[in-house]
Amino acid sequence: MAAYTPMMQQYLKIKAEYQDAFLFFRLGDFYEMFFEDALNASQELEITLTSREGGTDERIPMCGVPYHSAQGYIERLIEKGYKVAIAEQTEDPKQAKGVVRREVIQLITPGTVMEGRSLQEKENNYLATVTQFQDGTYGFAYTDLSTGENKVTLLPAKEEEVLNEISVLGAKEVVLSAKLDEGLQRKMRERNVLAISYEEETDSVDSFSGLMKDLNQDKFRVTAARLFNYLHRTQKRSLDHLQPVTTYQVHQFMKIDYYSKHNLELTETIRSKGKKGSLLWLLDETKTAMGGRMLKQWVDRPRIDRQEIERRLALTGQFISSYFERKELQERLKEVYDLERLAGRVAFGNVNARDLKQLLRSLQQIPHLHEILSRIPGQETGELAESLDHCEEVVDLLEQAIVENPPLSVKEGNIIKDGFNAQLDQYRDASRNGKTWIAQLERDEREKTGIKSLKVGYNRVFGYYIEVTRANLQHLEEGQYERKQTLANAERFITPALKEKEALILEAEEKCGELEYELFCEIRDQVKEHIPRLQALAKTLSEIDVLQSFAEVSESRKYVKPVFSDSREIVIEEGRHPVVEKVLDSQEYVPNDCKMSGEREILLITGPNMSGKSTYMRQVALTAILAQIGCYVPASKAVLPIFDQVFTRIGAADDLVSGQSTFMVEMLEAKNAIANATQDSLILFDEIGRGTSTYDGMALAQAIIEHVHNRIGAKTLFSTHYHELTVLEEELKRLHNVHVSAIEHHGRVVFLHKIKEGPADKSYGIHVAELAGLPKELISRANEILSSLEQQPEQTEKPAGTKEKPVPVLPDGTETEAQPAPQASHQAQLSFFDEPAVPKKAELAPKEKKVVDKIRDLDILNLTPLQAMNVLYELQRKIKN
């Protein structure tokens, strides 16, 4: 350290405290970076890498960005998941003795961004914290620093619960103890967490204690304290806009896990990861940024509280029936700016006069919104109208104080209206009158001297002066003016009177600028006192915006009000997939019914690929979600239970990040549903078992169906290509077969997309391949093979070129007769579930006998499907070895 120059020593001391951040070190008009920061930043930001001397033999790598354009560079780093520490000069360089003092004034991280393009208008920017307690449970808290929202909850001792909360929130940054399990931290990064930060301090910070006064458990307080300690350490400024911490319980909402949210495309699509094509995209007719954020929160967390759901549905209906009032509301809401984030900027100290003007224009819409809501019939809209806070004190203050079109800078003046402050008016009068006197002086001196080109000018170095060209100097009397400056073609002069007036004008202008900034800060502080009121108003406006959006979508797309059933009955008539219907637009969507009851808990859905099985399953789930967020639903009639959870297993994709195969992903998602579903849940299983061999897949599919039927009792839609499973309708009294119909027309398949009772009679796989555009000769050959296979009699002989199947072994060590090839008959194809043929003795090797003994000792009836799979995998591994 001693070998470096004093300035580099200062840099290294500050950098030692911010090892995980880029240090923007202020030097004059630039933020400079050195050493590793410079090497990395030059690559990430694509800026020039240079070097400088630092007191040692080797030159120090260096790069920098201009102070005035640093914001854009900072945002680029934040979007990539980095942190940026801003080190500013905290003393006047002219007064510094030695190296100018510098301190970090703020640490900007992905979870603490307050402005710029990193903040999406209609998305929250959440910072979360996780604390694990000795009993294994987790404390989970989160904040949106840009809006001031703070919440905390407790989660059971399951890592998946923590990961699911992070995923539902879309948290950009998570704060934890460095002692937290590294495996869990890795999984957090896999869930798209941009940054993981560490905070060990969990004692309450005095400045935040008021925000935690309503927390009645130590676990809540410790969890929230970790979050606030991190904010206190990194932000280093006023956070008066932060709202009191409120508690919530995960079970207060419909639980939709990460995989189900992904599979149902609630907020982003599977293919493009974008909003367009998602349920959120369909519903978003909001007019304000606040409304857009609340809509996303509602979609992420549908309610299970029937009273609240019914209230929202009532409001949606009242907006639907009041078309003209709704259109007026929309026009007024367009004039409302983002009150939540404006309040945050007021508290944070980075608000400007234009922001305050936006706040004023927003508040000026409240009386109009109140009047419109009062005209809509209904108790609920009346209550909404009365809950609107007009914030008259803020309106009066800003109307009197801020000019109509203020400048962007708060230190250039021309912000405060005339008449707001007497002292400011005096300074302005002196300045304006002084300038009038200057203009009159110029006219008088021209007349007195006869020099028409004489002018009175001003510059910052010499102040005011009288300028006369060299050609006209002869017209001046000796000693008439006092010489001030000589130019190539002119002379500049002053007079005692001009010098005196100059002092008055400049003093007035200087004091005028200082006073205006002081007055602006006072106005900002007065507005800050009303932040809780502004935040409450923002929530009401957001709710109005979301509900009018529901009404707009529901009316334009002919949705109906759902009715909730206490008997867990589902009756959806002419139901549609809301997003697919919108995407098809001019094409007619084929609606379908769904009827389920206590005697009809599981629908086993068969039918060809591309016929619409997955779409049908998804539309049932989306209908339930729409109903429970308070929106009308795409159907001609809808009777629904209130679901506590939705589970899906749809689609097939390897999880390359964590190294899991399609089949393992399939089984993990199935396990999640089986382990957590209740009788009040909705389960969608699409093609379970297709990721492994036919017999394995079929066995697992049947076992899962039986388990859900016999032990869980949840409403379940189960699609499959295993037509053999349709015989389960005879064995499981609450399972019913339905199929998606298709017909052949002139040798081509036509999908009718219509759900009908009973099993499908054909799979049409080759027809689908033909539709996909496979070569004609390949399709022709496939038809030949299919025809040949269908004509084969039941036999034990194998086609030429095929491998012999291993002979099945019974638990007592004997072999069975080889089974015939599966035929079209459902019962024949399920023959592997039947009693074995007459056995014949066979000798077993010692290792093989161990496997057989293991099978003999299994308690099959008490194994879950996942346990069965694990045992099967282990036995197979032993046999291979």
- Is 610 labeled as ligand-binding? yes
Please, are residues 398 and 357 in contact by the beta-carbon 8 Å criterion?
yes
HSE-up of 559 (CA within 13 Å, CB side)?
A: 32
Longest dimension (CA), the chain: 139
| Number of residues that this document lists for the chain | 881
Q: For strand 602-606 and strand 195-198, is the pairing parallel, antiparallel, or unpaired?
A: unpaired
**Which strand (E) or helix (H) includes residue 719?**
strand 715-719
Angle at CA 402, nearest 5°, toward 396 and 406?
A: 155
- Is 216 labeled as ligand-binding? no
What contacts 103, CB < 8 A, 6 or more positions away?
Answer: 14, 87, 88, 90
Computed on alpha carbons and rounded to an integer, the radius of gyration of the chain in Å comes to 37
Helices (H) and strands (E) in the chain, counts: 28, 27
Alpha-carbon torsion, ordered 781, 783, 785, 787, to 10 deg? -150
810-816, long-range: CB < 8 A, 24+ apart:
810/836, 810/839, 811/852, 811/855, 811/856, 812/839, 812/852, 812/856, 813/841, 813/842, 813/844, 813/849, 813/852, 814/839, 814/840, 814/841, 814/842, 815/839, 815/840, 815/842
CA distances from 196 to 179, 388, 516, 854 (A): 13, 39, 43, 45
In DSSP notation, 125-136 reads: -EEEEEEE-TTS
Residue 427: other Cβ atoms inside 10 A: 20
- Is 607 labeled as ligand-binding? yes
- Report the C-alpha gap between 48 and 71 in whole angstroms: 18
- Report the C-alpha gap between 866 and 670 in whole angstroms: 8
Report residue 205 as tokens: 């910070």
- Is 292 labeled as ligand-binding? no
Angle at CA 12, nearest 5°, toward 10 and 17?
A: 105
Classify burial at 133, counting beta carbons within 10 Å of its beta carbon; exposed 0-12, middle 13-18, buried 19 or more.
Answer: middle
First-residue to last-residue Cα distance in the chain: 60
Mark 765-777 as b/e (b = at least 16 C-beta within 10 Å). ebbbebeeeeeee
- Is 617 labeled as ligand-binding? no
What contacts 632, CB < 8 A, 6 or more positions away?
Answer: 313, 316, 317, 320, 550, 554, 559, 560, 561, 562, 626
- Report the C-alpha gap between 589 and 221 in whole angstroms: 52
Mark 336-370 as b/e (b = at least 16 C-beta within 10 Å). bbbbbbbbbbbbbeebbbebbbbbbebbbbbeebe
- Report the C-alpha gap between 865 and 706 in whole angstroms: 10
In DSSP notation, 573-627 reads: EEE--HHHHHHHTTSPP--EEEEEBTTB-EEEEE--TTSSHHHHHHHHHHHHHHH
Single out the residue of 428, 570, 423 nearest to residue 508, CA to CA: 428
The identity of residue 27, as a single letter, is: L
Mark 93-128 as b/e (b = at least 16 C-beta within 10 Å). eeeeeeebebebebbbbbbbbbeeebbeebbbbbbb
Please, are residues 662 and 691 in contact by the beta-carbon 8 Å criterion?
yes
- Is 613 labeled as ligand-binding? yes
Report residue 679 as tokens: 């009788």
Q: Is 414 left (phi over 0), alpha (psi -120 to 50) or beta?
A: left
- Report the C-alpha gap between 395 and 362 in whole angstroms: 10
Sign of CA dihedral 71, 74, 79, 83: negative
Binding residues: 607-614
Binding residues for ATP: 607-614
